[in-house]
Structures are given as structure tokens and as C-alpha cells.
């Protein structure tokens, strides 16, 4: 069963440069892991402001894994750990949404 791993980052420094660096680091450290069926990292769409839209994040990460096992291996992979160590000091808030997807 596919597992969707969606992460929303709010940065302490919300400048364009800081946001671009985090998107770049997502692509460098978090793409291409075994079992990944979909990967994307990008930024908030600022003009989508309906009452249901969440706008309190800067970068969104979307990874879909082919199994729970692939997700679990990703969590402990050295590149994932490097990403956290390199970027965590700049995070104001991180929200993770994991779900089985079809």
C-alpha cells in the first residue's frame, strides 16, 4: 500500500533566499530514496487565500513511498538525517502528515 508523507515547513527566516535554500536541500537530500514513487518540493501559492487554505507555511514536501517499509527506511537514511541536521535550526514549525494513499 502506498504511503504519502507530506511535510509543511514554516521558517524562522521567511525570506525568498531561505525558502529557496530549503527547497533546494529537499531536492538534494530527500529525493531519489529507494521505494519513492513520487517526489516534489515547492512553495506556498500566496494568492490562494480561500478560508480553507492554510497559508502559514513556506515550503511543502510531498513524498509517496511504495510501502511502509520504504518510508521507515527513509526516516533513518543518512541523507534524511543530514537534511534534518543541516536545516532544523531554521525551522519555526514543522507539520508532518502521513497517510495511506490509493
What pLDDT sits at residue 50? 97
In a domain, 29, yes or no: yes
In a domain, 76, yes or no: no
Q: Where are the beta strands (DSSP E) in 30-87?
A: 36-43, 59-65
Tell me the residue range of the domain where 8 lies: 1-45+91-102
- 69/22 Cα distance (integer angstroms): 26
Structurally, the chain folds into a number of domains equal to 1
In a domain, 63, yes or no: no
Per-residue pLDDT of the chain (102 residues; tens, 9 = 90+): 999 999 999 999 999 999 999 999 999 999 999 999 999 999 999 999 999 999 999 999 999 999 999 999 999 999 999 999 999 999 999 999 999 999
In a domain, 62, yes or no: no
In a domain, 71, yes or no: no
What pLDDT sits at residue 54? 96
What pLDDT sits at residue 43? 98
CA dist list (Å): 27 to 100, 101, 102:
23, 22, 24
Say whether pTM exceeds 0.85. yes
Amino acid at each position: 500500500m502506498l504511503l504519502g508523507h507530506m511535510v509543511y515547513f514554516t521558517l524562522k527566516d521567511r525570506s525568498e533566499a531561505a525558502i529557496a535554500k530549503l527547497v533546494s536541500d529537499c531536492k538534494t537530500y530527500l529525493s531519489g530514496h529507494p521505494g519513492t514513487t513520487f517526489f516534489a518540493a515547492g512553495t506556498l501559492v500566496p494568492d490562494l487565500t480561500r478560508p480553507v487554505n492554510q497559508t502559514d507555511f513556506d515550503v511543502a514536501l510531498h513524498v509517496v513511498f511504495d510501502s511502509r517499509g520504504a518510508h521507515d527506511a527513509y526516516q533513518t537514511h543518512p541523507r534524511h538525517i543530514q537534511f534534518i541536521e543541516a536545516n532544523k535550526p531554521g525551522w519555526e514549525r514543522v507539520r508532518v502528515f502521513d497517510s495511506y494513499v490509493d
